[in-house]
Amino acid sequence: MVTNKSAHGMDWGIYQRVGDNWRIGTTKVGGCLERITNIDDITSDFLVKFGNDFGPEFIHPHKLPHPNWHFLDNSEIPQLLNPNPANPAGLKTFVRFPRGLFTVQQNSRPDARRLSEYIESVAPGTTLENIIRPIPVRTRNTKRVLLCPSTPNCHQYYYGISQREWINRWQGWCEHNGYTAVVRKKPERPQRVRDPMSRLYEHLVIEDYFCTISQHSVAAIESIMAGVPAVVTGPHPAGDLATDQKEFVLGQLRIPDVNQVWNWILRIASNTYHKSELFQGKWR
C-alpha cells in the first residue's frame, strides 16, 4: 500500500472530521478530514494535529478549545523508522497517534498485541523486542552529559525559548557542577537511515555518558532504551522513567528497572500504528 503523502493528502497543520468515515486523510483522497487554519472554524468533535505546522498559521495545541484531538507524527519508537525486518527501507511508515497530547502518557494501556501482530504479519519471526533491543539502564563512571536539543522551531514555537538559549543554559549548569556537556547535532534523516552510527541509540551503546538531557524529544525514551538515564526539562515521551530537571539539579537520577522500561514501551506500542492502519480506518 502507498503510504506517502499521496495516500493521505495532508500538509502539516490541524484538521477536523467532516466525512462519514474514520480514514485519516483528506476528503479528496477518501479520508474524513479537512484542514482548518483558525480555531473559530472548529465545528467537529474530532481533530487531528498533523506534525508541526510552524509558520504564520501555527496554532499552539494549548489554545485548542477541544477535548478530542489526536497528534499524528513519527513513532516514539525510533527503531521502527530505521531499517528493520518490518520496514526494510527505513521509511516513515510507523507513527504515533495519542489523544490530546504530543506523547504517550501514563494512562495509556500497556498493550502491544496489535502492533506485534502487524510486525509478525509482514516479518514472520520478528518481535517488537527484536527490533527495539532494550538495554538495562545503569549509571556509568563518567561526568560526560549528552545534550539532545530539539529543533530550533520546536523550542521557539512551543516554549518561547531559542535552541541556543536552551543549550547555553544547560552547558553552563553542567560546567558549573563539574560535568562536561556534549551537544548532539542530530544528523539528517537520510544519514540516520543509511548509517547506524548516526542514530542516537547506537551512539549511546558505544559511548559512555552519565545521562542525556532533552526536552520535547524522542531522545528521552531512546536514551532509556539504550540503557542511559534520561533527564528532561519539559514535555517528553518517557513518563516516570525519566528524571525531571528539578530532581536532577538536586542530585537525583532515576534508574528504572527492566520491567518498568518494558511496561512503558508497551504503552508506547499501544499508540503506535502503521500508516496503513490509519489511512484505512482500522485504528478505530
User: Which cell numbers hold the place of 247?
Assistant: 530532581
For the stretch 221-271, pLDDT in tens is 999 999 999 999 999 999 999 999 999 999 999 999 999 999 999 999 999
Task: Count Cβ atoms below 10 Å from residue 82 Cβ, excluding itself.
Answer: 18
Query: pLDDT grade, residue 1 (50/70/90)?
Result: low
Q: Return the sign of the alpha-carbon dihedral for residues 55, 31, 268, 93.
A: negative
**What are the residues whose beta carbons fall under 8 Å from the beta carbon of 23, sequence distance 6 or more?**
30, 31, 32, 278, 279, 280, 281
Distance in angstroms between the alpha carbons of the first and the last residue of the chain = 19
| Three-state DSSP state, 84 | strand
Residue type, 258: V
For the stretch 103-159, pLDDT in tens is 876 667 788 999 999 999 999 999 999 999 999 999 999 999 999 999 999 999 999
User: Which cell numbers hold the place of 100?
Assistant: 490530546
**What are the residues whose beta carbons fall under 8 Å from the beta carbon of 251, sequence distance 6 or more?**
none
Strands 243-244 and 144-148: unpaired
pLDDT value of residue 241 = 96
What is the rounded average pLDDT of the residues 59-75? 86
Whether the Cβ atoms of residue 239 and residue 256 lie closer than 8 Å to each other = no
Query: pLDDT grade, residue 30 (50/70/90)?
Result: very high
Assigned CATH for 144-256: 3.40.50.2300
pLDDT value of residue 106 = 62
pLDDT value of residue 39 = 86
pLDDT value of residue 63 = 81
User: Which cell numbers hold the place of 268?
Assistant: 508506547
Which H helix or E strand runs over 163? Answer: helix 163-176
Instruction: Determine the Cα angle at 241 with ends 238 and 247, to 5°.
Output: 105
Evaluate if residue 6 carries a pLDDT over 90.
no
Burial status of residue 40 (CB atoms within 10 A of its CB: 0-12, 13-18, 19 or more)? exposed
pLDDT value of residue 230 = 98
For the stretch 164-222, pLDDT in tens is 999 999 999 999 999 999 999 999 999 999 999 999 999 999 999 999 999 999 999 99
* CA 72 – CA 3 distance, rounded (Å): 14
Whether the Cβ atoms of residue 106 and residue 269 lie closer than 8 Å to each other = no
pLDDT value of residue 67 = 81
**What are the residues whose beta carbons fall under 8 Å from the beta carbon of 55, sequence distance 6 or more?**
none
| Three-state DSSP state, 5 | helix
User: Which cell numbers hold the place of 259?
Assistant: 520491567
Name the nearest CA neighbour of 193 among 87, 121, 72, 116. Answer: 87
**What are the residues whose beta carbons fall under 8 Å from the beta carbon of 274, sequence distance 6 or more?**
3, 93, 94, 95, 118
* CA 234 – CA 146 distance, rounded (Å): 16
* CA 15 – CA 49 distance, rounded (Å): 6
pLDDT value of residue 35 = 95
Whether the Cβ atoms of residue 217 and residue 200 lie closer than 8 Å to each other = no
pLDDT value of residue 265 = 95
Instruction: Indicate where the chain has its CATH 3.40.50.2300 domain(s).
Output: 144-256
pLDDT averaged over the chain?
93
Kindly give the interhelix angle for 113-122 and 258-270, rounded to the nearest 10 degrees.
80
Query: pLDDT grade, residue 4 (50/70/90)?
Result: confident
pLDDT value of residue 61 = 82
